[in-house]
Amino acid sequence: MNQHPCQAALYGGNPPQTSNEKPLIINTCLTGNVLSKARNPHLPVNTEEIVEDAGKAIEAGASMLHVHARDEDGTPSWQPERFARIFEGIRLHYPDVVLVATTSGRQHGALEYRSAVLQMEGTAKPDMASLTLGSLNFPAQPSINAPEIIQQLCAVMRERGILPELEVFDLGMLNYGFYLQRKGLLPNDCYVNLMLGSLGTVPGRVQDLAHLVQEIPRNWHWAGAGIGRYQLAVNTAAIVMGGHVRVGLEDNPYYDYARRIDASNAQLVQRLVRVASELGRPISTGLQTRKQLRLGDSGNWSATRAVIRKMRPGDLDAAQNILAQWNMAPSAPTAAIPDPERNDIELPNSFVAELGGRVVGIASYLVPETDLAETCGLAVDPDYLGCGIGQMLQDARLAEIRSRGLTRVRTETDRPEVIHWYMEKFGYRCSGTRKKKPPYLGLADCGHWTVLELNL
């Protein structure tokens, strides 16, 4: 049947979904960073309690667990050993459940602490990890998430094949997620928690949830999470709207907020199972959740990852534009400067990085001697720095140089951070300097190149 044109306009070409089309993923946040047993005696704190409580939540209907660890004194822990014992304990009996490790920086803000849990291996390796997409104020303290930390965490998750659990507290954070995906730092199909009702962020009204949901791409999975008194209302609205839910003591310690009746995680999950049943939503199993979220599907990541390929004639303009942004575009000879400093691009010896159909990086080399390659023209579009594109280009370039039987590589640069990068990442050594010729390429206030060499 042909779609009515008014419907196509109203829904942007995407017909509305009914609420019972897909199994409901119940994501349970068991412990968090803030709640204490003094406030809710049902809160699981030590490893044994968390593992036991996780089992009860899974039996009740949860297929995803958002996990925090605590030290012996009950304070939040970043140490991977504590997370490993929790993850291994849960997977011993529930191997299909999706386990999400927190990378919260509220107590431990440095990248080394926040990313430590992402390095776990075997049955301790997380399926997913939380990623808050911006800074915000909680009622009693700020949560600082600097752009460079967010992007570095993204890069580690991409490298490790760990799906981010995106935490969104306002529309700006959602927009930042779209920006990260354009940079290749997020997979094609993402999972996002829409966090409503915390003081200083998006209110916990249904209209606010609808406002956020209308911006979610159709291939993304979203869950509605309400803080405190807003938990049940937001969860219920999400079920009706065809989304998923996040529930648990981290977000709300009460079963009845108005009468301050303490909840357990299992009770909160059981209530949502009943609500979903009345509304016609089946409950997702662990295996179904894994399939929905494409866990273990490397194609989900590769769909947004830069592709390194040989340069084609049609890439030259884009490559020149990128080089020009770093003052590295080739200079043509003139009557005044017949022998300018050059940065030649030879198509057979050049690579580009392509992302989303756009050239975002270039790397070239020359062969001035039978056993020597001279690299030149490595540049990445400034909008795509921090995505690992430079290293991918360099790896491709070095691999081809080796395959041609060349035994030495020489590189010249004038940027201290680039010198450090070549030496630390690839083992180059500094062999001297060379005076620049006009017009000065690179840094205008630096009159020499640092010469770096590498034996292959």
Return the pLDDT at 344.
77
Return the pLDDT at 75.
92
> Do 376 and 259 share a structural domain?
no
> Do 192 and 294 share a structural domain?
yes
Number of domain units in the chain: 2
Return the pLDDT at 332.
80
CATH number of the domain residue 279 falls in = 3.20.20.70
> Do 203 and 158 share a structural domain?
yes
Domain that holds residue 74: 15-300
> Do 49 and 151 share a structural domain?
yes
CATH number of the domain residue 405 falls in = 3.40.630.30
Return the pLDDT at 16.
52
> Do 252 and 274 share a structural domain?
yes
Return the pLDDT at 12.
56
> Do 193 and 54 share a structural domain?
yes
- Three-state SS sequence of the chain: CCCCHHHHHHCCCCCCCCCCCCCECEEEECCCCCCCCCCCCCCCCCHHHHHHHHHHHHHHCCCEEEECEECCCCCEECCHHHHHHHHHHHHHHCCCCEEEECCCCCCCCCHHHHCHHHHCCHHHCCCEEEEECCCEECCCCEECCCHHHHHHHHHHHHHHCCEEEEEECCHHHHHHHHHHHHCCCCCCCCEEEEEECCCCCCCCCHHHHHHHHCCCCCCCEEEEEECHHHHHHHHHHHHHCCCEEEECCCCCCEEECCCCEECCHHHHHHHHHHHHHHCCCCECCHHHHHHHHCCCCHHHHHCCCCEEEECCHHHHHHHHHHHHHCCCCCCCCCCCCCCCCCCCCCHHHEEEEEECCEEEEEEEEEEEECCEEEEEEEEECHHHCCCCHHHHHHHHHHHHHHHCCCCEEEEEECCHHHHHHHHHHHCCEEEEEEECCCCCCCCCCCCEEEEEEEEC
Q: Which of 252, 279, 300 is the last residue of a domain?
A: 300
Structural domain includes residue 2: no
> Do 222 and 97 share a structural domain?
yes
Return the pLDDT at 11.
53
**Model-level pTM?**
0.82
> Do 267 and 314 share a structural domain?
no
Return the pLDDT at 23.
97
> Do 350 and 233 share a structural domain?
no
Return the pLDDT at 115.
97
Structural domain includes residue 411: yes
The pLDDT profile of the chain, 456 residues, written as one tens digit per residue, is: 344 444 445 555 555 555 567 999 999 999 999 999 999 999 999 999 999 999 999 999 999 999 999 999 999 999 999 999 999 999 999 999 999 999 997 877 899 999 999 999 999 999 999 999 999 999 888 999 999 999 999 999 999 999 999 999 999 999 999 999 999 999 999 999 999 999 999 999 999 999 999 999 999 999 999 999 999 999 999 999 999 999 999 999 999 999 999 999 999 999 999 999 999 999 999 999 999 999 999 999 999 999 999 999 999 999 999 999 999 988 788 888 888 887 778 999 999 999 988 999 999 999 999 999 999 889 999 989 888 899 999 999 999 999 999 999 999 999 999 999 999 999 999 999 999 988 889 999 999 999 999 999
Return the pLDDT at 19.
56
> Do 320 and 174 share a structural domain?
no
> Do 331 and 254 share a structural domain?
no
Structural domain includes residue 3: no
Q: Which of 255, 285, 300 is the last residue of a domain?
A: 300
Structural domain includes residue 4: no
> Do 287 and 148 share a structural domain?
yes
Q: Which of 251, 280, 300 is the last residue of a domain?
A: 300
Return the pLDDT at 3.
45
Structural domain includes residue 211: yes
